[in-house]
């Protein structure tokens, strides 16, 4: 439905001046003859004056969005298809026995072209009637593929999370071990430093050469003599 607005003048020329009303709810009743004739004539003028315009580009531009399910996409595509296909929508879709209309076939083809490439590729590979079956059959298969892909994605996400947790725990354990080793090394170094600091001088004498040992002894004796003289004075 669309408001005619100022375009009403294009189809209102033959409209009766006096109101013509439906007298009997039964459309075919003879008392409705005048009303029926006026409505039929108006319908013909509307069809002739405002023909449906074909716009396949508009249909081709309708693609499934990332956050959109298969069913949601088909619903949105159907509205655009009805407006721009130039074809008459049937009262019902083919159910396997009735023939597939041009409207349904075109919508099915547009649906397969507009779904995500991943879904479309699997449907074309697995569903033998993707380009000849009825729309309901193709949609049902696409929904099934969508569910399988979603389940696989969830499992992959869970595995990635599990691997990340394992890697994090392993890293923390490695850091903890490294810290313990560093603490042990630091404590060992401090202990060795304290022992070396308090070690008596005579313990290190064994590393001196004989010449240096004689000089050290002479130096000690000289200092002892000087200290003795100081006490005598």
The whole-angstrom separation of Cα 152 and Cα 122 is 14
Do 102 and 133 contact (CB within 8 A), yes or no? no
Question: Is the sign of the CA dihedral 54, 58, 64, 68 positive or negative?
Answer: negative
Q: What CA–CA distance (Å, rounded) separates 41 from 11?
A: 10
Q: What is the pLDDT of residue 203?
A: 45
Q: What's the start-to-end Cα distance of the chain, in Å?
A: 134
Q: What value, to the nearest 5°, has the Cα angle with vertex 45 and ends 41 and 50?
A: 150
Q: Are 149 and 126 in contact (CB under 8 A)?
A: no
pLDDT at residue number 130: 92
Give residue-wise pLDDT tens across range 60-76: 999 999 999 999 999 99
For helices 135-197 and 102-114, the axis angle rounded to 10 degrees is 10
Q: What angle do CA 124, 78, 46 make, to 5 degrees?
A: 140
Which tens digits make up the pLDDT trace of 197-219?
555 554 454 555 566 667 767 77
In this structure, the number of other CB atoms found within 10 A of the CB of residue 111 comes to 24
11 near 49, Cβ under 8 Å? Answer: yes
Lowest-pLDDT range, 24-33, 83-92, 120-129?
24-33
CA 100 to chain centre: 35
Q: What is the model's pTM?
A: 0.53
pLDDT tens digit sequence for 28-66: 888 888 888 888 888 887 777 777 778 999 999 999 999
| Number of residues in the chain | 233
Nearest to 98 by CA among 59, 142, 137: 137
Closest by CA to 57, choosing from 116, 110, 121, 115, is: 110
The pLDDT of residue 210 is 62
Residue 193 corresponds to which tokens in the numbers above? 């430093």
């Amino acid at each position: 439905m669309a408001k005619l607005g100022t375009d009403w003048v294009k189809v209102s020329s033959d409209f009766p001046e006096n109101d013509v009303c439906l007298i009997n709810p039964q459309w075919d009743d003879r008392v409705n003859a005048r009303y029926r004739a006026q409505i039929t004539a108006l319908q013909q003028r509307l069809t002739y004056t405002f023909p449906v315009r074909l716009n396949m580009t508009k249909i081709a531009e309708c693609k499934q969005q990332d956050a959109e399910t298969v069913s949601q996409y088909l619903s949105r595509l159907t509205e655009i298809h009805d407006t721009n296909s130039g074809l008459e929508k049937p009262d019902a879709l083919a159910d396997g026995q009735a023939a597939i209309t041009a409207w349904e076939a075109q919508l099915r083809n547009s649906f397969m072209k507009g779904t995500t490439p991943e879904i479309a590729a699997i449907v074309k590979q697995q569903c033998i009637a993707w380009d000849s079956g009825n729309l309901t059959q193709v949609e049902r298969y696409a929904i099934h593929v969508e569910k399988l892909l979603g389940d696989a994605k969830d499992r992959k996400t869970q595995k990635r999370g599990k691997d990340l947790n394992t890697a994090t725990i392993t890293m923390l354990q490695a850091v903890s071990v490294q810290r313990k080793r560093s603490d042990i090394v630091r404590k060992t170094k401090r202990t060795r430093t304290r022992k070396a600091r308090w070690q008596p001088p005579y313990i290190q004498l064994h590393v001196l050469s004989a010449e240096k040992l004689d000089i050290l002894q002479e130096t000690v004796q000289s200092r002892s003599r000087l200290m003795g003289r100081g006490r005598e004075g």
